[in-house]
Structure formats: structure tokens, C-alpha cells
Structure 1
């Protein structure tokens, strides 16, 4: 069992290790016909370019730094908005009984299952009519249409796994339904909330298609588009692409390490009733 765990760890971590090695390798090492497992002349020049170069013009390294900030703003705002809507809506679907409840919930799932390319034209026309093309707000609205159904379904299923007697006891003690949600249900649902927030953040952080189509300037481009622009028409800086990949992977990795126990608990807690 331990041998298989080590083998799986090596398989999963090897590409990331090679990404780090490539990001500090010299151009000669990267294009050499012989594989260099360790760079002969390691350099941090690409990271220096990203963090110190001026943005604008043809400086893709400086633009990447702006794209990192854009991605943090867009993904963070999308996660907060979608999580609030997912918690309130998920609780309503789990506890309230109203006409077309199941149909409405299934419609959210159907929207989530649609391929993103199918929604490009209507979303583009909507953002164009609202004047939100090439803006971070436009991306936040677009990403919420993707992340909110995910949060809604995840939180709804988790709330169904919690015993309703806890809320009833809180209401007997004088809490309103909203008070019982805030004081009793949400604290119990903290593992699911953190796990949902983590995966919702990843959905917004890694999204490429909408960011590519709905943005055109550095002011609103996100990390996936900025990395794609490292590849030029006649040449590609593979080391800069690797450095961008390392920096793009750091926030999700750090979030996963910090909230690891909550993520595992959120994924498994809904499997047991009561």
C-alpha cells in the first residue's frame, strides 16, 4: 500500500517538478537534445521579469503580473458571490417546499452541464448590451453563471444530510428560520462550505474560453490567457511559460494545503445521514 502511494505521488508530482525545473533552466538547457534533469546554470531571471517588468506594450512578462491580480479579483469575487447564493438557495431547495422546486433545481443542473461554447454567443451579446465586455465585472458575472449552479447543488445535497431537528430546536428557542440557518446550520456546514469554495475558486481560476473571448486588453485578462500569450508567432519562450505555470499553480496549491482537512470532510460528510 505504501509503495503504491509513493508511486502515485511520483506520477502526480513529476510534471509539476519538471515545470519548476524548466522555469529555472537556461534557454540552452531547454532546447538541448540531451535531457537535463537538473539545470547546469539555474536562473531566476524569468521570475524577476514577471515581478519587476513594466506592463503594457509587448512586455508579456509584465502583463502576466497584472493578469495574476485580475485572476485573484475575478476568482475571489465569483467564489464569494456564488457561495452566498449557493448557501441560501441550497438551503431553500433542501428545506422549503414550493411549486416546481425539483424542476428548478434540475434546470440549474442542466445549465451547468451545457458546454461553455454553447453559451458564448448569448453571453457575448448580453455583455455587449450591458457594456461589460473587456471588464472584470463582466467576467465575474459570466463566471457566476458557471460556479453558482455548482455551489447550489453541492450545498443543497449537504443540507439534506443534516438532521432538521436541530433547526426545529433552534426555532423553538426563538430563532427565525434565517437565524437558525446562520447560527446552527452554517457552522455545521463549514466543511462543505470550504470544500465548495475551493472547487468554485478553481473553476473560475482555470477558466480560459470566456476570458479569451470577452477580454481584449491587459486590464481584464486573466492568467490562462496571459500564459497563452507567452507563445509568439515565430518563437516561444518555454521557460517563461513554465514560470507562469508555476505561479498560476501556487494559489490553488496553497488553498488546498491550508484547507485540506475541511475539503476531505466536506467531500465525505454528505455520505452519512444524521
Structure 2
């Protein structure tokens, strides 16, 4: 009988642990998918039916086809609201944050570090502490219960994050490359768009995904600043599947599956660039 070498045993151990970790991480998502297609009897059965005896896709059909004033049509509206809010937040925070990060990374001016720390200090304040002042500001600007109001709020939180991440990433790019472009006739903006941003593409994509998630998953401000289906987002819509006396677990599961799809699809498409961006920032210096 053959005996495994130490390197072979280590390889087997790593693969077994990787499979175990994947099972632990993916099991809740697997159950979410199962619960979304199981009927109410299977969900409440004792003992629990891990494989639905009567699977149904009626919840998904109703979410995409229902008309009128009901939870299904409301969820569909909230889904598109979340797409608009998250996409707009990414565009605004990326545009503002990239220029700001480039200034902090390449320009030297008095108070540069203090200004950057001031922006980052917004993450040190508990979100609940900002609710009342932000609510009063939203009232004065007539932005309550509007998609644009949520975009403004989320952009104010995502932009400092972009400043920090991209500022560090720009510093990891050799300054000599930019100098060479400037010598060849590029302006500072030309060097940014033709040299720096193409090199920073992995970090840029990783940062955009995180900025998207900041707006996509946020619940507290969306709950307080919105009140109608015209502006509610997915987290708020899913929370409303829980009634005063009952909870529609199957509908919550279906909503959770649909809510998870956009981030998962984006991460799957740009997987290599995102991993490269995260590792590139990790080995900076």
C-alpha cells in the first residue's frame, strides 16, 4: 500500500479544507435557493424537507409579471430603484473620487493628510447618529422619498471610500511612468487617462464593486428616507415581506435570490480584475 508523501498529504489537506469552507459558506445560499422554490407546506414541514416535494416557480413569475399595488409589483419597482441608485452612486463617487485620489496621491499641498483624514472620519461616526441631521437636510432640499435623494446620500458615503482606496492604489504606480508620459507631451490629465487609469484598472473595478455594494445593501437610510414604492430599494422591499402576524419565508427567499444576483454576476464577470486589484493594493510599498 502506497504511503502519501508530506507534500501530498498537505495538498490533500488543503483541498479537503477548501471544500469544507466552501460548503459552510455556500450552504446558506443553497438553502435560500431551495426555500425560494419550495411551497409553504414543504417549508413548514416537520421533519424539514431539504429537497422540495412540490417545487414551484410561482413566486418568481409573480414578481416579474404582477400588476397593480401589491408586494410583487412593489418588489420589482424596488429592484429597478436599487439598480438606478447603485449605478448612479458608482458613477458619481468614482468620477469625484478618482480625481480626488489622484490629487492626494500625486500633488503635495499643505494640509493634504489632514483633509484626507477628515473625509475618512465620516466612517467613524455611527450611521444612526447622522440620521436626524441628514433627515432635516433632506426635508429642506425636498429630497425625501426620492431616488435622487438616496443617490446623494450614498454618494457622500462612497466617495471617501473611493478616495482612500484609489489614493493608495495610485501611489503603488511608479511615478516615472507618468513622468515619461509628461515628457512625451501629455498633460497631467492626459497622463491620468492614458497611463494611470489603464494601469489602475484592476483596483478601479474592485473599488467600483465595493461602492456598488455600499449602495445596493444599505438599509437604514433607505428605510427612513423613503416611504413609497416610487423610491424604496430592495432591502426595504424584502423587509416588508414580514407582516405583523406572519412572515412569507418563501417570498423573502425569492427576493434574497434576486437581490444577490447583480453583485454575483458583476463579481463573476470581473473576477480576475477584482482579485488583481485587491492583491495589488495589498502588496503596495
TM-score by length of 1: 0.97
Match of 2:4 in 1: none
Superposed displacement of residue 272, structure 1: 3.8
2:56 to 43, 61, 66: 43
Whether contact under 8 Å (1:75, 1:140) holds in the other structure is yes
Whole-angstrom CA distance in 1 between matches of 2:106 and 2:24 = 44
Structure 2 CA distance for aligned equivalents of residues 84 and 112 of structure 1: 20
Between the aligned partners of 1:148 and 1:169, the Cα distance in structure 2 is 30
Question: Residues of 2 paired with 1:273 and 1:34: CA distance?
Answer: 53
Contact 1:55–1:66 (CA under 8 A) maintained in structure 2: no
CA distances 1:35-63 after superposition (whole Å, capped 9, x unpaired)? 1110000000111111111142xx11110
Once the two structures are superposed, residues 228-257 of structure 1 have per-residue CA deviations (whole angstroms, 9 ceiling, x without a partner) of: 000111111110000000000011111111
Q: Does residue 96 of the first structure (1) align with residue 107 of the second (2)?
A: yes
Which residue matches 2:40? 27
- Structure 2 residue corresponding to 1:18, chosen from 31, 37, 42: 31
Matches within 5 A, 1:1-274: 1-56=14-69, 59-273=70-284
TM superposition shift of 1:113: 2.5
Query: For residues 68 and 99 of structure 2, what CA distance do their matches in structure 1 show?
Result: 41
How far apart, in 2, do the equivalents of 1:55 and 1:208 lie? Answer: 25
In structure 2, how many angstroms separate the alpha carbons of the residues matched to 1:266 and 1:113? 25
Q: Higher Cα Rg: structure 1 or 2?
A: 2
Q: Please say if residues 169 and 284 of structure 2, whose CA atoms lie closer than 8 Å, have aligned partners that are also in contact.
A: no
Residue 51 of structure 2 aligns to a residue whose secondary structure is: coil
d(CA) in 2 for partners of 1:186 and 1:55? 46
Aligned CA RMSD, in angstroms, stands at: 1.0
Partner deviation per Cα, 1:41-97 (whole Å, 9 max, x = no partner): 0000111111111142xx111100000000000000001110111111000000001
2:43 and 2:190 mapped to 1: Cα distance?
59
Counterpart-to-counterpart distance in 2, 1:246 and 1:272? 35
What SS does the aligned partner of 2:18 have? Answer: helix
User: Displacement, 1:31?
Assistant: 1.1
- After superposition, the C-alpha distances for 1:118-137 in whole angstroms (9 at most, x for unaligned) are 11111111111111100000
The 2-side partners of 1:229 and 1:55 are apart by 17
SS in 1 for 2:54: coil
SS at match of 2:231: coil
User: Partners in 1 of 2:98 and 2:230 — Cα distance?
Assistant: 31
Instruction: Detail structure 1 runs of 4+ shifted over 3 Å in the superposition.
Output: 271-274
Q: Deviations over 1:3-22 (max 9, x none)?
A: 01100110111000000000
Report if aligned partners of 1:54, 1:62 keep a CA contact under 8 Å in 2.
yes
Question: TM-score when scaled to structure 2?
Answer: 0.94
Cα deviation 1:105-151 (Å, max 9, x = unaligned): 00111112322111111111111111110000000000011111111
Contact preservation (8 Å) 1:163, 1:273: no
